[in-house]
Amino acid sequence: MTLGEVRAAYIAFFKERGHTVLPSAPIIPEGDATTLFTSSGMQPLVPYLMGKEHPEGVRLVNAQTCFRAGDVEEVGDNRHTTFFEMLGNWSLGDYFKHEQLPWVYEFLTKELGLPKDQLHFSCFAGHDTLGIGKDTEAADIWRSLGVSDDHIHFYDAKKNWWSRAGTPEEMPAGEIGGTDSEIFFDFGTPHDPAFGPTCHPNCDCGRFIEIGNSVFIQYIKNADGSFGELPKKNVDFGGGLERMVAATRGDVDMFRIDVFDAPRALLEARSGVAYGADANTTRVFRIILDHIRSATFMIAAGVVPGNREQGYVLRRLIRRAIREADTLGIKDAVLADAAASFTEVYGDAYPFVHAAAGKIAEELTKEEQKFRKTLVQGLKELEKMGDAIDAFTLLTTYGFPIELTEEIARERGIMLSMDAVRAQIEAHKAGSRAGAEQKFAGGLADHSEQTVAYHTAHHLLLKALQLVLGSEVHQRGSNITAERLRIDFSYGAKVTPEQLAEVERIVNEKIDEGLPVVRTVLPRAEAEQLGAEHEFGATYPDTVSVYSVGELGSAFSLEFCGGPHVENTRVLGEGGKRFKILKEEASSAGVRRIKAVLQ
């Protein structure tokens, strides 16, 4: 079947069962500055899953355009894409497992005609600490539909619990989630022992592919880490549209479904390389196809290539697509033409993409010209360098990617030590950090990595408090060690657990967004004009240093500060750490105190 056919069949099936069809929410979330992209069908519905009444009723269905930046490194295999459409159906406190699981089974086996013996199902194995038992109810339902025991599998919370943040432990307070039951399609390809001795639905060798997931969203995480019941028990089903189409075709390669046919043929014609010729070029084709499709939808949603937030992600996708196209031997602009076939094929389902075709072509062409010029200039400089190739200068002065330097050098038989180049870049960064530290020593207990990370978290926290509690919040004191951070701030009432949960959520979002932390030195008056935060009662010289989280001018937070800070908020989340508020209490009249950790 084609993508359009499966999408239409799904919507019609659930419409017949009393569901209201919702349009896809924009891929850039509306009115939610804390997250860059819509990454699942349930995301725009969170308030309703938490209990708010939905104007369209309690049974909803749609196809949602999604983007998952976190999957970008996975792209290249047979099944991962950054952009995808998620088919969703929701019960907002209406039907539950006994209705939803049989429906989805009927849809897959009757409407799509998927062979029953190629379907596998996973259920929750139970969680002692949470006191949530094994989901025998879901397993019994699958059994009652004729699924044999060897097609029903139990997994723990790492696999069969769903929340936007991951496992129960990873969820911040205020986040919703629950156990789930996933559906896998067995493509029957041979198991690759590199992924483990035996194959099973959650094995990553590529034989089993998850095509759907019914989440029983019935829990909310409390500020003290325990789990409470939501006012209603909801079902949140999400199915991968492209993956279902691949299953109907019985071909495990997602990049052979109809929407990729025209752009794939275009790349073949321009490169003279046949798709599937070998593992390496197949990977390259997939990256280019994926990235151009994502870029098409992003520009259609109003994003333009830039240096921050969505614009930065878009720029990276475009530039990577160009570099990969270059390795296929495509030396002339190709992105706009490839995007034109996407705007065509998605035109019926998403008229706004078709309507933006001109803008998409224009932005892609501009960015491709600019980046190809950088590549040409970098190459010229590289030629001039002869055998003494200086990858560091090429990167820092000409923006020429080091991987590309490596490749060109290799063509000339020169082996560059990339570790040495990377070490040089690190030393350069550390050098500027050390310089900053010497100039501004004040404030922190020490300048260990942990203390510096807490210092940046402190900036994020202050801004998040202002967003949640109001602009009257200002810093009244701070104390930062390698173990934790403490902030005193002006605010006249106890902060509620919900507000604290929201503050935590915002800080964690900013950590996940990987925002640069930038230092700027400027006249005090100018910093004041920009609205930079400063501590009440402190005096500052005529020239001050400010730190912005995000680029100055469009920063999430801006403070008078001597540093030091991490270079990017991503560092705060390294090793899976999350920002967590431990305590909120009165400090003095009209001043509250919060202690928080990254753990």
Distances (CA, A) of 350 to 1, 260, 353, 549, 570: 19, 16, 6, 35, 34
Q: Which of 323, 574, 348 is nearest to 452 (CA)?
A: 574
161 vs 579, which CB is nearer to ligand SER?
161
Report, in Å, the least distance between residue 58 CB and ligand SER.
17
162 versus 312: smaller Cβ distance to ligand SER: 162
Q: Rounded to whole angstroms, how far apart are CA atoms 198 and 208?
A: 12
How many Cα atoms within 13 Å fall on the side-chain side of residue 468?
21
Supply the minimum distance, in Å, between the C-beta of residue 182 and ligand SER.
8
Tell the smallest beta-carbon distance from residue 64 to ligand SER (Å): 9
For residue 293, the minimal CB distance to ligand SER (Å) is: 19
Residue 229 structure tokens: 């019941």
Q: Rank residues 181 and 478 by Cβ distance to ligand SER and give the closer one.
A: 181
Q: Which residue is nearest to ligand SER (CB)?
A: 238
Shorter beta-carbon distance to ligand SER: residue 88 or 573: 88
What distances in angstroms separate CA 469 from CA 461, 503, 594, one per listed residue?
A: 12, 9, 14
HEC-encoded secondary structure of 338-405? HHHHHHHHCCCCCHHHHHCHHHHHHHHHHHHHHHHHHHHHHHHHHHHHCCCCCHHHHHHHHCCCHHHH
Instruction: State in angstroms the smallest separation of the CB of 355 from ligand SER.
Output: 28
589 CB neighbour count, 10 Å cutoff: 6
Q: Are 544 and 522 in contact (CB under 8 A)?
A: yes
Positive or negative: CA dihedral 543, 547, 552, 557: negative
**194: which DSSP letter?**
G
Tokens of 250: 């019985």
Sheet holding 475-480, edge to edge: 475-480, 485-490, 591-598, 579-588
Establish whether the linkage from the previous residue to 564 is cis, with ω within 30° of 0.
yes
Give kind and range of the element (H or E) at residue 456. helix 449-469
Rank residues 43 and 281 by Cβ distance to ligand SER and give the closer one: 43
Residues that bind ligand SER (CB under 6 A): 40-42, 88, 162, 213, 215, 236-238
Q: Which is nearer to ligand SER, 40 or 310 (CB)?
A: 40
* Least gap, CB of 470 to ligand SER (angstroms): 32
Amino acid in position 588:
S
Query: Of 162 and 297, which CB lies nearer to ligand SER in the complex structure?
Result: 162
Nearer to ligand SER, 105 or 556 (CB): 105
Please identify, using beta-carbon distances, which residue of 254 and 339 lies nearer to ligand SER: 254
The nearest distance, CB 315 to ligand SER, in angstroms, is 26
Could you tell me the smallest distance in angstroms from the CB atom of residue 238 to ligand SER? 2
| CB of 160 vs ligand SER, minimal distance in Å | 11
